[in-house]
Amino acid sequence: EAGVTQSPTHLIKTRGQQATLRCSPISGHTSVYWYQQALGLGLQFLLWYDEGEERNRGNFPPRFSGRQFPNYSSELNVNALELEDSALYLCASSLGQVNTEAFFGQGTRLTVV
Amino acid sequence: QKEVEQDPGPLSVPEGAIVSLNCTYSNSAFQYFMWYRQYSRKGPELLMYTYSSGNKEDGRFTAQVDKSSKYISLFIRDSQPSDSATYLCAMMTFGNEKLTFGTGTRLTIIP
């Protein structure tokens, strides 16, 4: 069974540009979570989607947004990129609204130059 | 003050030793406690989770939660070089599906 897959693996953008990151959850999982893992800061919660709806968001500015599609895959968009947005972006999925067993993807390494 | 504090290490121990990894937290509403392992350039992998206070064992791993002290631990017995990774504690409140992570402890098992 395929795990959580994220694309692209690496992404290099210029300050001010927009980045789009994609996530495919494990088959049957309806909840998708996005986390940012910046150096020295640990994983910070970004967004939670379930059944196509945004259920919760962390303390990030509105230029971080996303959506969940009918097939439960998800997209994270970061507008007006700043150097501080350079980080590993991790997507996780779980069965419904039970985050005690969330499975993570390999992440997308975003570098803003 | 961070909600979850974790010693970043690095921690180096000889193969076969017992490893103790710890986290403290300030939010008494946390109900679920998880431990993740993250290898370099990989996503975190769930090792185990516990609900409320007590111990939970899974093979060489034992998770311990002391809610009165707001302290959780992960013990690794008979440590192996393959256990070398960063270990992350995470916590959540039922109904608020946001995991709050510690910053991770980098562990190296020396053959």
> Which residue does chain A place closest to B40, by CA atoms?
A106
Over residues B49-60, the pLDDT tens digits come to: 888 788 999 999
Mean pLDDT of B18-31: 94
Mean of per-residue pLDDT scores for chain B: 92
8 A C-beta contact, residue B18 and residue B77 = yes
Contacts of A97 in chain B (CB under 8 A): 97
Q: Hunting for tokens 């970043």 — which residue is that?
A: B8
Q: Check whether B62 has a pLDDT greater than 70.
A: yes
Mean of per-residue pLDDT scores for chain A: 93
Position A113 scores a pLDDT of: 97
Residues of A with CB under 8 A from a CB of B: 4, 31, 33, 35, 40-45, 48, 50, 55-56, 58, 90, 92, 94, 97-107
Q: Check whether A96 has a pLDDT greater than 90.
A: no
| CA–CA dist B39, A38 (Å, integer) | 16
User: What is the pLDDT confidence band of residue B14, given thresholds at 50, 70 and 90?
Assistant: very high
Position A1 scores a pLDDT of: 64
Position A41 scores a pLDDT of: 79
Q: Check whether B95 has a pLDDT greater than 80.
A: no
Q: Where are the alpha helices (DSSP H) in B1-111?
A: none
Contacts of A94 in chain B (CB under 8 A): 97
Q: Check whether B97 has a pLDDT greater than 80.
A: no
8 A C-beta contact, residue B89 and residue B101 = yes
Of B45, B97, B100, the CB nearest to A56: B97
Q: Check whether A3 has a pLDDT greater than 80.
A: yes
Task: Show the beta-strand stretches assigned E in B16-104.
Answer: 19-25, 32-38, 45-51, 54-58, 61-66, 71-76, 85-93, 96-101
Mean pLDDT of B55-74: 94
> Which residue does chain B place closest to A59, by CA atoms?
B98
> Which residue does chain B place closest to A58, by CA atoms?
B98
> Which residue does chain A place closest to B37, by CA atoms?
A104
Mean pLDDT of A39-66: 92
User: What is the pLDDT confidence band of residue B37, given thresholds at 50, 70 and 90?
Assistant: very high
8 A C-beta contact, residue B37 and residue B105 = no
Instruction: Please judge whether B49 and A99 are an interchain contact, meaning their C-beta atoms are less than 8 angstroms apart.
Output: no
Contacts of B34 in chain A (CB under 8 A): 100
User: What is the pLDDT confidence band of residue A97, given thresholds at 50, 70 and 90?
Assistant: low
Largest CA distance in chain B: 43
Q: Check whether A98 has a pLDDT greater than 70.
A: no
Mean pLDDT of A22-50: 92
Mean pLDDT of A83-99: 87
Q: Check whether A70 has a pLDDT greater than 90.
A: yes
Position B53 scores a pLDDT of: 83
Position B47 scores a pLDDT of: 94
